[in-house]
Amino acid sequence: MLEATASIALALLVVAGVAKVVEPEFTDGALRATGLPSGVGIVRVLGMAEVMAGIAGLVFGGSLAAPAALFYAGFSLFTGNALRRDVPIQSCGCFGREDTPPSFIHLVFNVIATVALGIVASTGMTALPAGTMAETVLYVSFVGLGTFASVLLMTRLPTVLRLTRS
């Protein structure tokens, strides 16, 4: 269970990093709105670092999951601060979309990812458990579905919840 949680968080970090490299404008705007250092170049470097941290954690696990845990801790602080201050951000830029404002769902996901990756990093556990070829294929498929579901959870569910309150 812990391996799957960590693997989904790592895969999502890769997806989010690629989105920041391809479409850095949304994250740049979010950083600027919260008063943090910003710029398209900064966001692209951040995105590339996320991709590298996610891949290293997925492939090697153990202490190489620590940078990913630190990214998620930073995301938790950013999201919590934006929510606490009620910063009017149209998008946090996580997934290169303009309609993904920071939400409580983001915060909870980020905290869970921070804890899971911290445990993986501190125990030396691998994110991808060893097994037969069939078990590995099933595991990777599950992580792919979990990553896709996580993107939907953070990009679509807040909108649906907002619409149901209206």
Residue extents of the structural domains in the chain: 2-165
Tokens read off for 6: 């960590």
Three-point CA angle 29, 6, 49, nearest 5°: 40
Q: What is the pLDDT of residue 98?
A: 64
Q: pLDDT per position in the chain (166 positions), as tens?
A: 788 899 999 999 999 999 999 999 989 988 988 889 999 999 999 999 999 999 999 999 889 999 999 999 999 999 999 899 888 777 777 877 666 778 898 999 999 999 999 999 999 887 677 778 898 899 999 999 999 999 988 888 877 877 787 6
* pTM assigned to the model: 0.90
